[in-house]
Structures are given as C-alpha cells and as structure tokens.
Amino acid sequence: MKHVAATLLDTAKGIVEYSYEGNGPTILLFKGGHCTRDTDLSHSSLIYEGYSLLTISRPGYDKTDRSTGPSTEVFADTVIEVLNHLGINKVSVIAVSAAGPTGIALAVHHPERVEKLIMESAVTAPWEAGSKRQAKMLFGPSERVFWRSVKTLLRVMPDMVIKQMLGALTTENVENFYDQLSPNDRRFIFDMLATAQSGKGFSLDINQGIPDMSKIQAPVLGMYSHKDKSVPYSQALLLQSTVPSCEIYDVKSDSHLIWIGRSAQNVWNKRLEFLKQ
C-alpha cells in the first residue's frame, strides 16, 4: 500500500503539499474551506474500499503556496503537474464545500484527466457580498487569532463553541439540532474545528470565479442538503441545470455537514455506487 504523507513538490508555480496512499484507482480529494492536512471528513476510509486517495492542499492551505493558484484555472494546471509527477493518468475528483470551483476548473480545463466529479456540499456560485465582508473580517489577517481563540474555548466549553459554529451551517434550530447529534457526531465536529485553519487560503476561496460548468464532460454527482445554510440548495439546482451529465442526490441531512447524522451512511453508499459505475 502506498503511504506518502505531507510531501512537498516544487512546481512551476511554487510549492504544493500533497499526500497519497492506498491501492487501486486514484481519487483526488480537494478539501473545503478551513480544512488542513489533519482534517478528515471520513474520506480517508476510501483507501479501505480499494482506492488510492490523493489529497492535494489547495493554495494558501497547509504548505501550498498561494502562487500555485491565484485562480482555479492556474491551480488546475498545477494539479496536472502533480499528477504527471506521480504518473497518474486519470482521477475521479471529490470537491468539498469551498473547493467546488477547484473541482469544476480541473474538469473544465483538463477533461481528459477527470474520470468523474463528486461535489459534496460544494460551492457552484460566487459568494454574496455580505458573506465576503464577514469572511474578510474573521479570516483575513486576524485568522490566526480567531482560530486560536476558538480552539482554546473548544477545550473549555466545547458545547458552546460547536453550537456557535453550527449556527452558520444549519437552517434548523441549533439547540434542537445539537441535541439530536450522537456522541460520534459531536466528536466529528470537535475534531473538524480542532484541526481547522484558514491560512491564506480562505481569502482566495471567497474571491474565486466559477468556470463555465456547461463545459464539464465528466459525469457529475452532487450531494446537497436542503437545510444547508452555508451552501444553499439553489447551488445544487444550478449545478444540475448547467452540467450536461449531472445527478443530484438529496441528502436528508440537517446541515452542511452531510458526513454525519442519520444520512451519513447513505452518503457513503451513494459515493461508492457512483465511483463504481
């Protein structure tokens, strides 16, 4: 089994961090906003399903230089350089949340290298002005202070911090939603927050343009929740109406976090079904 963790590659545009492990067909994972090398939204288990998992940190995250992708089109070219370095011809791509435009760009600009594209609660439209202003305030120059404060409070008052964060992720009543979470679900959110860091990546995320999705040639699976406050379901409908070959799977989740809760196993099964088609 391959196991290459936190490797740095000096590309034409700068340093890119990636990890690569497992055997079998390669799945390329682009993690979402605020996610680091240590954030696992359950995708690492794909290696136990007979796949190789290649995780490439996007520009501004971990050790990947911003210069590798001032735009998603430029970063798509950088990703191809990584694939060439590893001798990988084609990949199935999973794009999570804010990484949606990155997955789209790779499929649009390098169709010959993308077998399938899975969009998981993934962004398909430009950020609204209000959301941009809030993001710049919290995750701009002071993002380290913000996350240091969050992680300190998380150790002392985890319930309070998790509820505060859930307010931005669900359209449901936060108290009711939290009460319904299992201990494993709460641990998932705790670990997600404990490993989060925006770096210089999220400030890039909120300003990325969306490539022309009508040019995507690969089959696309979009998995979205109607109760996602962070990425509205309208973005799922936009994806479905624009991409030539697209299936939207309605996740019966109460939040943006489709990887936990009563529908998590259905999400897992649907992902595997699509990959094996």
What mean pLDDT comes out for the span 169-184?
A: 97
The tens digit of pLDDT for each residue in 238-253 reads: 999 999 999 999 999 9
What mean pLDDT comes out for the span 257-266?
A: 97
How far apart CA 253 and CA 267 sit, in angstroms, is 10
Task: Please report which confidence band the pLDDT of residue 3 belongs to, taking 50, 70 and 90 as the band edges.
Answer: low
Domain ranges in the chain are 2-126+209-276, 129-194
Report which of residues 158 and 131 the model is more confident about: 158
* pLDDT(156) > 70: yes
* pLDDT(2) > 70: no
**C-beta separation of 63 from 57 below 8 A:** yes
How far apart CA 219 and CA 154 sit, in angstroms, is 40
What is the distance of C-alpha 179 from the center of its chain? 26
* pLDDT(108) > 80: yes
What mean pLDDT comes out for the span 216-228?
A: 98
Mean pLDDT rounded to a whole number for the chain? 96
* pLDDT(264) > 80: yes
What mean pLDDT comes out for the span 87-96?
A: 98
- Structure confidence at residue 47 (pLDDT): 96
Task: Please report which confidence band the pLDDT of residue 5 belongs to, taking 50, 70 and 90 as the band edges.
Answer: confident
- Structure confidence at residue 1 (pLDDT): 65
Share of the chain above pLDDT 90, in %: 92
How far apart CA 191 and CA 82 sit, in angstroms, is 29
Write down the pTM of the prediction: 0.97
Task: Please report which confidence band the pLDDT of residue 184 belongs to, taking 50, 70 and 90 as the band edges.
Answer: very high
How far apart CA 253 and CA 118 sit, in angstroms, is 17
How far apart CA 41 and CA 32 sit, in angstroms, is 10
Query: What is the domain class of 2-126+209-276 according to CATH?
Result: alpha beta
What mean pLDDT comes out for the span 136-142?
A: 81
How far apart CA 74 and CA 79 sit, in angstroms, is 9
Residue type, 274: F
- Structure confidence at residue 235 (pLDDT): 98
* pLDDT(4) > 70: no
Instruction: Tell me the β-bridge partners of 251.
Output: none
